[in-house]
Amino acid sequence: MKHKLTITLILLGMFLLAQYLGLSVLYKYIDPLRTQQEGKIVFKDLPIGERPPLEEKTSYLSIMLTILIGTAILFILLKYNLHWIWKAWFLLAVVLSLTISFSAFITVLPAFLLALLLGLWKILRPNIIVHSFIELFIYGGLAVIFVPVLNLFSMSILLILIAAYDAYAVWKSKHMITLAKAQTQQKLFAGLIIPYKMPSFQRKIVHPHKVRTAVLGGGDIGFPLLFAGVILKEIGFWQSLIIPLFALLGLGYLLWFGKEKKFYPAMPFIGAGCFVGLGVVWMLRFM
């Protein structure tokens, strides 16, 4: 078992909670009037900015290219110790995503102010509780941006590409491990961090070499949510609720059979769970 049982259960519970919170945010962005008029799910405009102008059938190409370019830029910033640019970029992404997510429940200005407060808190005074709260909500904002420009075909291809890239980046090149360690050392980790022991009353973000932690990357949370979101858009809401359960089984399989202190790519397992979930959705749909 990769982690002790209590840590594993906490990690799995937070993963599942992030999935369902993200789906609830996405559901709140459905435009009921336009959906009824057009006979298909239509999403409201973003409260700030615009969605990337991508074609649903080919959007996976642009998204995958953006991920590769973003990873390359991060390594350049690391190499030249340009941490302030990294922090500014990270803060912008956090505030944007949280503003979109919070705007599903409150008006835009309070949503932005809350997102800015939490983003600054995360950057300037890293705290495990604030970090975890942000991680639960941030992926819903990303889903609201990208689900409308994806369809089931493009999302499926994207999931396969991401799983293959994750496996290569962890098992072959190992650059994803280097990047994850660098993010944690800079206290800018995108994903879940579950320490085996809270380091202090302040519950600060801990250094991975000082206190053992269980981590799950942000992509391992975001991509199954995008997949479930596309199911919501193209098949139905209750069907989308099935996908996180099977993604959870894939992650659970990895955590149960994985070895301690060994790095694994999570997306091949989570992605496989998503596709099994899709198969179940199709079976239920045609029964």
Alpha carbon 269 to chain centroid, angstroms: 15
For residues 157-185, give the mean pLDDT.
Answer: 89
Query: Does 208 score more than 50 pLDDT?
Result: no
Q: Which of the pair, 154 or 81, is modelled with greater confidence?
A: 154
- Write the pLDDT tens digit of every residue in 219-260: 999 999 999 999 999 999 999 999 999 999 999 999 999 998
Reduced to 3 states, what is the DSSP secondary structure of residue 240? helix
Q: How confident is the model at residue 144 (pLDDT cuts 50, 70, 90)?
A: very high
Above 60 in pLDDT, residue 176? yes
Query: What is the distance between the alpha carbons of residues 203 and 215, in angstroms, rounded to a whole number?
Result: 16
Region 44-60: what's the mean pLDDT?
92
Question: How is residue 78 written in tokens?
Answer: 């690391």
Least confident span in 85-89, 165-169, 218-222: 85-89
pLDDT higher at 186 or 173: 173
Q: Number of folded domains in the chain?
A: 1
Say whether 3 sits in a helix, a strand or coil: coil
Selection from 179, 162, 183 nearest residue 65 by Cα: 162
Full domain range(s) for residue 183:
5-285
Find the mean pLDDT for residues 18-30.
98
**Of the given ranges (45-54, 190-199, 234-243), which has the lowest mean pLDDT?**
190-199
Question: What is the tens place of the pLDDT at every residue in 114-125?
Answer: 999 999 998 888
φ, ψ at 213 (rounded to 5°) = -135, 155
Q: What is the pLDDT of residue 57?
A: 93
Determine which of 59-63, 65-69, 110-114, 206-210 has the lowest per-residue pLDDT on average.
206-210
Residue 201 pLDDT: 40
- Whole-model pTM? 0.93
**Average pLDDT value for the chain:** 91
pLDDT of res. 33: 94
* Residue 89: alpha-carbon gap to chain centroid: 17
CA quadruple 42, 48, 240, 150: dihedral, nearest 10: 70
Which has the higher per-residue pLDDT, 226 or 176?
226
C-beta of residue 20 within 8 angstroms of C-beta of residue 244: yes
Cβ contacts of residue 220 below 8 Å, gap of 6+? 15, 191, 251, 266, 267, 270
Sign of CA dihedral 4, 8, 10, 11: positive
What pLDDT, on a 0 to 100 scale, did the predictor assign at position 285?
A: 83
Q: Which is more confidently placed, 207 or 63?
A: 63
Q: Where are the alpha helices (DSSP H) in the chain?
A: 5-28, 32-38, 59-79, 83-102, 108-124, 128-146, 152-167, 175-185, 218-234, 237-240, 242-257, 267-285
